[in-house]
Amino acid sequence: MEEGPRRSWAAALGATRPTRPGARVLYGGGLFLAVAFATGKPSFYAGASLLLALYLVGHLGAAYAWRSLEIRWDCPSRVFAAAPFPVRLLVHNRGRAFLAGIEILREELSAEKWRTPARFAVRAGAAIPVEVRGLVRHRGRHRLAPPRIEVRWPFGLAVALWDTPGEREVLAYPRRVGVPSRAIRSRAPEVSRREVAAAVPRGGELLRGVRGWAPGDAPRAIAWRASARHGKLLTREFEREDAGSAIVALDADARDLPANDRTAAVERACSLAASLLLRLRAEGRRTALAAWTPEPVFLGSVAGERALGRALEALALLEPSPRSSPRRDPLALVPRGTLRGARVLLVKAGRGVERTTRGAGGTAVVTLPSLHAGYRPGPAR
């Protein structure tokens, strides 16, 4: 966390300005003073003096509070777009007075916004942690501006604006979206009969059927009632949703779309590819990623945290290929042996409907368009 330097009284007074109630008090004091000059009545002089003295105490108090504060802040370096993330602040009161009316400003910046709590107070000599929620709307690298803090102690007649020093660089992964379950459902064609039978029964697995017993089958997989009916040993076969391998291929070439649709198609394609990786990885599937960013990217496995981070970073920084460049198939980056028996999900930046085709070697390729057939661009935000 970054610490701000101790500031001078001149800087504190310069950072303090009247609030709307404070401006009314100043206006009333000036009005009383003008009437006192016109009439010469001591009561108007007394009223003007009281109002101006009250505002002076409020202005000096806010400046003192500003000078007494020490604020440090930090946030994650990698986040998901459109998902709130924590921004941690440590507010330290180095003064000798109880400071109240401290508030973190809620304001919209270039690419992020703060979701802030209510006002809070800090005892003399104490430090309290405060957590607000940040939000980055789009994938890519962002310079996150620090939060700004206002203090209106003691009467709320003046406000001092505390600019927290330093910026943070945040890498925003593509936003997480829903994925079609039918597209990622595993048929596990590459798992042998013995491997399927030996892995059961466990929770969350689907019964495939019953077959004859073979040496090496797990005893717990034997279907005893069916065996008694048929007079021979039968083994239950189960299909695991996490069985088998999957390949997520991203085709971000959206040159055939109208100019208004290209950006939305690429953004949605990156989000869909990232969400597929996370979903398949959570289910225990052996998952690979292939894409042109426009540099060739092929990650044979995203099982580890470092490999997953590399995959999400590649999707976060992906730039669509120029229209003058030749078309490139992301499946050409995948070795032929890896394709065999895998579930291939081709995410295409375009408009259309989900379909299944046959690729090299008879591999089934599920094409998932990023925009549905009836998509219409909404208003710019």
Q: At the fourth CATH level, which superfamily is domain 9-173?
A: Immunoglobulins (2.60.40.10)
What pLDDT score does 362 carry?
A: 62
| Token pair recorded at residue 136 | 């980055």
What pLDDT score does 79 carry?
A: 94
Q: Which mean pLDDT values do the consecutive 10-residue runs of the chain (381 residues) have?
A: 61 91 92 89 90 93 91 91 89 90 65 59 90 88 87 91 84 90 58 42 55 72 86 73 74 83 89 92 86 90 89 92 82 83 86 79 79 56 41
Give the pTM: 0.73
What pLDDT score does 370 carry?
A: 84
What pLDDT score does 52 carry?
A: 93
Measured between alpha carbons, how far is 75 from 169 in angstroms, rounded to an integer?
9
What pLDDT score does 196 carry?
A: 42
What pLDDT score does 179 carry?
A: 83
What angle (nearest 5°) sits at the alpha carbon of residue 77, between those of residues 76 and 79?
75
What pLDDT score does 259 carry?
A: 78
Contact 351, 375 (CB under 8 A): yes
**Alpha helix stretches (DSSP H) within 115-258:** 181-184, 193-198, 224-230
Measured between alpha carbons, how far is 284 from 167 in angstroms, rounded to an integer?
38
What pLDDT score does 323 carry?
A: 76
Measured between alpha carbons, how far is 9 from 18 in angstroms, rounded to an integer?
17
| Token pair recorded at residue 91 | 């507010």
Q: Regarding beta strands 140-144 and 16-18, do their DSSP bridges make them parallel or antiparallel, or are they unpaired?
A: unpaired
10 Å CB burial of residue 55 (0-12, 13-18, 19+) is: buried
